Amino acid sequence: MIIQVRQLSKSFDYYTKELGLKNSIRNLFARKKLTKAAVSDISFEIDAGEMVGFLGPNGAGKTTTLKMLSGILHPTSGTASVLGYTPWERKKAFKMQFAIVMGQKNQLWWDLPANESLYLNKCIYEIDDKTYAATLGELTELLDVRDLLNVQVRRLSLGERMKMELIAALIHKPRLIFLDEPTIGLDIVSQKKFREFFKYYNQQERATIILTSHYMEDVKDLCKRTIVINEGQIVYDGDLAQVNDVFAQSKLIKVQLSAPVSPETLAAFGVVREHTDLTATLQVPRAALKESSKIILDQLPVTDFTIEDIPVEEGIAELYQRRAGQHVSA
C-alpha cells in the first residue's frame, strides 16, 4: 500500500474585517476569528501503480490534501502514511521518492536554460552522472524536447515549458507523482500528448499517480478509479465507469429521422435533450428502455438509432452536489 489516510483534517483560521477606518482601529484590539475546514476526516488507500483521479469543485480540498500528502502542510488532525513515511515529518528518504507537478507553479528558473535547472535537480536528488544522462535522454526523447534544453525557459511555449517541468519532476524517477492541474492552459493536442506520456510512464515505471484536473478527458483517459471530494469530505470513491451506474436512472436514445418531427411529438417518448429537424436525443428511464425503444422505432420515421449512457461529466456534476454524510462507494 503506497498511501494510507485515516481521518485526515486540515483547518485554517482567518479574521474578518469591516470596511472603514473605525473598524480598522477596532480590529487592532479585537478581531473576530473564523475557522475554515478545508479537509474533514477523509480516509482512503491507494495501491502501488494505481492512477487515481482526485476530483472536486474549486475549494473542495483537493490541493490541500495533496499538500498534506506531500508534506507541504501539517494536518490539524488525523494520520497518513505515504511510501511508509509520515509526510509532514519531511524525511530526506521520503522526499527523494515523490514528485509534485502543479500546472500553475513553476520550478524551473525563468531566466536560465532548462538544462541548468535540470542539473540543479540532479544535484539535489544526488543522481549519478550515468543515470542522469540516461534518464534525461529518455525523457527528452519521449517528450520531443531534446533540442530545447539550451533555450531560455521564458522563451519556450507553454506546452514546451510544461514538458520541461515534467522532466524536472521525473528526473529522479519518483515512485509517487502528484499532478495538480498539469494540463491547464494547454491546447487539445498538447493535452493528448501529455496523457499518452503518463500512460506510458505509468506502464514502464509502475509509478503511482494521483491526478487532479477539471478536464474530464484527462481523468477518463488516465484513471480507472476516482475519488470525489466536496466541502472537504469524500463523497465518492470507486470506478469512474460506474459513476453513472450509481446515480443515473436514465439512458439516452439518439435517433436520426427521415422526416421532421416536432419537439411536442417527441416529448411523448421521453425528455427531449436535443432536437433538430432530422435528429433528436431523448432521455428515457433505464427501466423502461426496452419498451420505449420499441415504441420509438414503431411510431417515428427512424433511419438510425443508438443508445448511450448519460455522459460521465453529468454523474460527476451530481457528485459535486453531495454533502457530508452522503458518501457513496462503488
What would the pLDDT profile of 236-256 be if each residue is shown by its tens digit? Answer: 898 887 776 665 678 889 999
Pairing of strands 176-180, 98-102: parallel
d(CA 146, CA 121): 17
The answer on 218 and 302 residing in a single domain is: no
What CATH number is given to the structural domain containing 258? 3.30.70.1150
Q: Is 129 helix (H, G, I), strand (E, B) or coil?
A: helix
Same domain, residue pair 225 and 296: no
Domain end, chosen from 194, 223, 244, is at: 244
Compute the residue count for the chain. 330
CATH code for position 55: 3.40.50.300
CA 45 to chain centre: 17
Tell which residue, 217, 224, 216, 280, has the closest CA to residue 252.
280
Per-residue pLDDT of the chain (330 residues; tens, 9 = 90+): 899 999 999 999 877 777 777 777 777 777 778 888 899 999 999 999 999 999 888 888 888 999 999 999 999 999 999 999 999 999 999 999 999 888 777 788 888 999 999 999 999 999 999 999 999 999 998 888 889 999 999 999 888 888 899 899 999 999 999 998 888 777 888 888 888 888 988 988 899 999 988 788 888 888 989 998 888 889 889 888 777 666 567 888 999 999 998 888 889 898 898 888 899 999 888 888 889 899 999 999 999 989 887 776 676 777 676 554 455 555
Q: DSSP 3-state assignment of 70? A: coil
Residues 156 and 172 in one domain: yes
Shared domain for 236 and 198, answered yes or no, is yes
Q: How many percent of the chain have pLDDT more than 70?
A: 93
pTM: 0.75
Query: Residue 185 has what pLDDT?
Result: 76
Average pLDDT of the chain to the nearest whole number: 87
Does a structural domain hold residue 317?
no
Distance CA 58, CA 131 (A): 40
d(CA 295, CA 290): 9
Is 33 in a helix, a strand, or coil? strand
- Give the pLDDT confidence of 100-125 residue by residue, as tens digits: 888 777 788 888 999 999 999 999 99
Q: Say if residue 119 is in the same domain as residue 266.
A: no
Total of domains in the chain: 2
User: Quick check: is 326 in a domain?
Assistant: no
Range(s) of the domain holding residue 122? 3-21+31-244
Amino acid at position 301, single letter: P
Place of cell 533555450: 151
Contact 121, 172 (CB under 8 A): yes
Secondary structure class of 98 (helix, strand, coil):
strand
Tell me, yes or no, whether 174 lies in a domain: yes
HSE, side-chain direction, 13 A CA sphere, residue 115: 12
Query: What pLDDT, on a 0 to 100 scale, did the predictor assign at position 312?
Result: 67
Q: Residue 31 has what pLDDT?
A: 78
The crossing angle, in degrees rounded to 10, of helices 158-170 and 114-124 is 20
217 & 253 share domain: no
